[in-house]
Amino acid sequence: MTYKLIAIDIDDTLINDDKQVTPATQAALEEAVAAGVVVTLATGRAYASAKQLAAQTGLNVPIITYQGALVKNLLDGKVLLERHVPVEAALKLGEYCKEHNLHLQTYIDDKLYAREENEKLIAYAQLNNTRFYIEPDFEKLFSQPTPKMLIIDDPAFLDELAPKLHELLGDQVHITKSKPHFLEIMHKEGTKGHALAFLADYFGCTLEESIAIGDSWNDHEMLEAAGLGVAMGNAIEPLKAIADFISASNNEDGVKVVIDKFVLNK
């Protein structure tokens, strides 16, 4: 199979535990692009955060952000695909989190907002290298278009919360975990798999000609959609179970391993 499109998750996939793209992985990305392959990023991060890292790697393509709720060009900032959390669902979620004293964040115009500043918000902003804004009248934001809302809490608690939110919000939203303590809520089509299918069509290739590489459960839709679904060596076990190939870890240039083996045929 000749692969024409590669979608790569960022955190714990493309970047190592030091939050760096290694020179070896960077060289592999450049070789893939030189060979005519479209290399893109597929992340739960906001566009502004993902754009910083994409610029470092020299990529100049549309990238998948907010779990697939926003696909946007790096070169000119043109929006190619956008899906917002339905207003009714956003209002219900906001009310539920307020009643149960849960930490909820939302994004408006690519800016991160929360009701109050706390350790969860500060740590999240540092992790994603992004600014945050405080809006005490948080509910007024929920009628504005948002690609993603996020609850931060204990992993076990979030596992119990997810089915409750599914029941509360219905099938108009997609709920996933990007990391054990991050529960993310998007439009029902806000998945990396949906966005990958969109980009395959955009670039004139089939999903069978695409590779998806990830480490967390929010990557499973794109691994299942792609012709070759790759789980990193450090991926969670449920993702490894559905992967077509398990690569090395993010600290062992796992992305380079995939490009060398399946694209460059080294």
For residues 25 and 41, give the distance between their C-alpha atoms in angstroms, rounded to a whole number: 14
SS3 label, residue 238: helix
For residues 25 and 20, give the distance between their C-alpha atoms in angstroms, rounded to a whole number: 10
Nearest to 73 by CA among 47, 45, 52: 47
For residues 262 and 258, give the distance between their C-alpha atoms in angstroms, rounded to a whole number: 6
CA 179 to chain centre: 10
Q: Are the C-beta atoms of 83 and 189 separated by less than 8 Å? A: yes
For residues 138 and 118, give the distance between their C-alpha atoms in angstroms, rounded to a whole number: 15
For residues 14 and 245, give the distance between their C-alpha atoms in angstroms, rounded to a whole number: 16
Which residue among 9, 11, 12, 219 is the active-site one? 9
What is the DSSP code (8-state) at residue 42?
A: B
The type of residue at 253 is D
Token pair for 105: 């964040």
Active site residue 9: yes
Which amino acids are annotated catalytic?
Answer: 9
